[in-house]
Structure 1
Amino acid sequence: MLYRLSAPLRTGLVTILLGSLSACATLPASGPTAGEIKRRVNSSGNTIGFRIADITAPVLAEIEAKADVVDRAAPTLAGLAAEGRNDVVGPGDVLGIGIFEVGVSLFGTSGGGEVGQGFDSGARNVTFPAIVVDRQGGISLPYIGRLQVAGRTPPEIQDMIVRGLRGKSQSPQAVVAVRSNLSGTVYVGGDVRKPGRFELTLQRERLLDAIALGGGAANSSEDTLVRFNRGSQTVEERLGRIRAGAADDLVLIPGDRIELIKRPRSFIVLGATTRVSQVAFETGDLSLAEAVARAGGPQDERADPSAVFLFRYDPMAQSDARAQPVIYRLNMMEPASYFLAQKFAIRDKDVIYIANAAANRPTKMVSIINQLFTPFVTARVLTQKN
């Protein structure tokens, strides 16, 4: 059955319809359409100078080449490699010193020394178990006086003691051992399970050895940044990129400081997708295809699959600190795009935007108009029945 509306009612509905169609652009949306983004490139509103580049094989090759140049120019831990010694004494170290004599003795009594037990009764010895190297790098011993021992090995300090006793003692000998090696330590802190100071040995420990001594990273290696300080230089690098025994796995020297920092990499997904979210990488490398899949992909009823945009700042040149804003477009209606998306590497803090389909707003408007018409039609039906 057809129902006819009165002339005034028809006029009013037509007015509402025309006004509604002109208001399509003001309807709520999760973001701009592909056409609106393109129009903004050459508009006066593009104050930051962004550009749009379709993801093609030549563009992908250009991106990879530029990324390779930037990666090579970035400082790495290998640049801090230096030779150092951890077998020498320094300020704060605690030394154990034993002195042995034969015949006329300056120290101790016959066979009474801690180290000399079991020796011939004609030998004399005395042990100084805790001699601290002072701030200036020296120690003081009876009958010898002050010795500057900083930067010396235990055997060299033994020779210094023997030379100091010559002419005062008969056939003196000395044994020097490092009881506490404070100067030959490295510091491991931050997001490790057991932060602290660790002594280096003659085995020449490396960076990953020190992290292991600290109980390992508290978070995954991909989410952990290593901040390494050597002297006045500091370099940061992802723990997940450091391989055992490689150049970045530095041989440690006294005074090195290692700090582990939790800094997960992530990308942001906006627009016509299943959910708007910030997504963690969780792996070493991530492609655009994997990123779109993790976001749930374009939403069938809302998205324009030919307009998947990636927003990022690209470095303009190796020596240029500035960065150029670029919008890369992936057309998922083209089969070749799926192969390119597998090679397009996502970077930390990239923004992926899946554009709304251009038909979304008219569809919403039709829905609104239907809601406006429904009460009138219902009223008309009820009137006819009565």
Structure 2
Amino acid sequence: MLNKTIIVILASCMLAGCAIPGSTLSTRDKNVVEGEDDSADTLSSRINVYPLTPNLINKLKYNQLVPTTQPNDRLEKQLASYQYKIGPGDVLNVTIWDHPELTIPAGSYRSSEEAGNWVHSDGTIFYPYIGKLKVTGLTVTQVRSLITERIKKYIEAPQVDVNIAAFRSQKTYVTGEVNEPGPQPISNIPLTLLDAINRAGGITKDADWRNVTLTHHGKEEHLSLYALVQKGDLTQNRLLHKGDIIHVPRNDAQKVFIMGSVENPKMVKIDRTGMSLTEALASSGGINEAEADATGVFVIRSTGLANKQEKGSDKPLADVYQLNMQDATSLVMGTEFELKPYDVVYVTTAPVARWNRLMTHLVPTINNFNNLTQGMLRVKDWE
């Protein structure tokens, strides 16, 4: 009779879930709003599961980049034809050979910037005999020709030289995770994105160098310093212009979540060179050999459609990649499988481990029931 009672209690606990301790959030007295297409069958049909194979891994290579041996034709043409355009705030040095009276000497206590011709806010400079001269938007070659043409009236065969003593009118800005953020002056030497990052002291250890933003005339362009520096993709470089903003974000979004039957479930960040599935598992102490199901190592990757609210869309909400680690060669595939931000790595628990875990919670209850039953029998015998 006693054994039958234990079996009944065990079966009841398994069905009701009363043997598993832990907190719960009841929705019994709540207003539960159900979505139109949120049934289990509908959601399951929008989840794709892919067993990991070498061919699939080759197709999924994250940021698979081929080094670009040929130069960036567009950038090379821009650099070859680059000429600095003068703007307000710049300082020009104008020299007319054999006419020192028209050239203001710098002297021992005056720098060329202080002795030069300041470009005023109206875009003009003042020069003897010529008066005001509009120079903004012109190159030094054009200004030289303009001054030569005007001064001919007063000097026979003038030899004019013009150079820029101070570049102050044009700047680009480097912000975010660089060692020395701030403005970078644009000069007669072309300034590229890579040059500006180097001038800013390089990126910090917390920089997300795969998702650098370049804002030009209000339009954003996403570029990858990782592709440029690590993979030699020269198409990621850009010639910078006045007012351009380079922003290097933090790597806060480079998160991967490791859960399930691993030694130390946690959240890790993808470093600069990326993170493979094997590296993620190793960072959490590896799978729990006593509990894990080696056939059930999953990477759950959202497609981002859940936030787009595409009503009636039959596109997948997530892709799930399954790695079978029963074979040692699967570790090679895990090493080649690159994780993406917000991937969830989940290691399932073996059925026998789940049963053992259940029994671990039930045994104290059974022992207490046996002790209670034996006590009741003793009382009955005493009576």
Q: Same fold (TM over 0.5)?
A: yes
From the superposition, tell whether residues 62 and 314 of structure 1 become closer, same or farther in structure 2 (CA, over 3 Å).
Answer: farther
- In structure 2, distance between residues paired with 1:254 and 1:376: 80
Amino acid at match of 1:88: K
Partner of 1:254: 241
- Are 1:24 and 1:362, in contact at CA under 8 Å, matched by a contact in 2? no
Larger Rg: 1
Cross-structure match for 1:341: 334
**How far off its partner does 1:282 sit?**
1.9
Code of the aligned partner of 2:276: S
In structure 2, the gaps of 5 or more residues are 23-38, 67-71, 108-113, 306-314
Picking from 115, 139, 146, the partner of 1:153 is 139
Mapped partners of 1:141, 1:300: distance in 2 = 84
- The residue aligned with 1:271 is 260
User: In terms of mean alpha carbon deviation, does 356-365 or 374-383 score higher?
Assistant: 374-383
For residues 251 and 357 of structure 1, do their structure 2 counterparts lie closer, same or farther at Cα, with a shift above 3 Å needed? closer
Out of 21, 46, 51, which is 1:49 matched to?
A: 46
Distance 2:319 2:19 in 1: 27
Q: Normalising by structure 1, report the TM-score.
A: 0.71
Contact 1:24 1:365 (C-alpha < 8 Å) held by counterparts: no
Q: Which residue of 2 aligns with 1:299?
A: 288
Q: Distance in 2 between matches of 1:115 and 1:174?
A: 15
Percentage of identical aligned residues: 22
Q: Give 2:260's aligned amino acid.
A: G
Cα distance between partner residues in 1 of 2:105 and 2:18: 93
1:1-386 aligned at under 5 Å gives the runs 7=1, 12-23=5-16, 27=20, 44=41, 46=43, 49-64=46-61, 81=75, 83=78, 85-98=82-95, 114-115=104-105, 129-135=116-122, 137-141=123-127, 143-168=129-154, 174-219=160-205, 225-231=211-217, 233-243=219-229, 247-248=234-235, 250=237, 252-255=239-242, 256-264=244-252, 265-313=254-302, 325-378=318-371, 380=374
Deviation at 1:215, TM superposition (A): 1.8
Amino acid of the residue matched to residue 204 of structure 1?
Answer: P
More strand by share: 1
Per-residue CA distance 1:107-155 (angstroms, 9 max, x = gap): 77xxxx74299xxxxxxxxx963422435x4434454244232333334
Residue-by-residue CA offset, 1:338-378 (whole Å, 9 max, x unaligned): 23223222222211111122234432332333212323545
Structure 1 portions without partners, runs of 5+: 1-6, 30-41, 73-77, 118-126, 317-321
Give the count of matched residue pairs.
339
1:79, 1:275 → 2: CA distance?
50
Aligned counterparts of 1:116 and 1:174: Cα–Cα separation in 2? 18
**Alpha-carbon distance between aligned partners in 2 of 1:98 and 1:242, rounded to the nearest angstrom:** 43
| 1:158-212 Cα distance to aligned partner (Å, 9 max, x none) | 3322322333456665543323213454322222222222334454343222212
Change in Cα spacing, 1:346 to 1:79, as seen in structure 2 (3 Å) is farther
Say if 1:192 and 1:364 are closer, same or farther in 2 by CA, change over 3 A. closer
For 1:54 and 1:116, locate their aligned partners in 2 and report how far apart those are by CA, in whole Å. Answer: 75
RMSD: 4.1
Q: Which amino acid aligns with 2:226?
A: G
Q: Using the TM superposition, give the Cα deviation of residue 247 of structure 1 relative to its aligned residue in structure 2, in angstroms.
A: 1.6
The whole-number CA distance in structure 2 between the counterparts of 1:80 and 1:263 is: 30
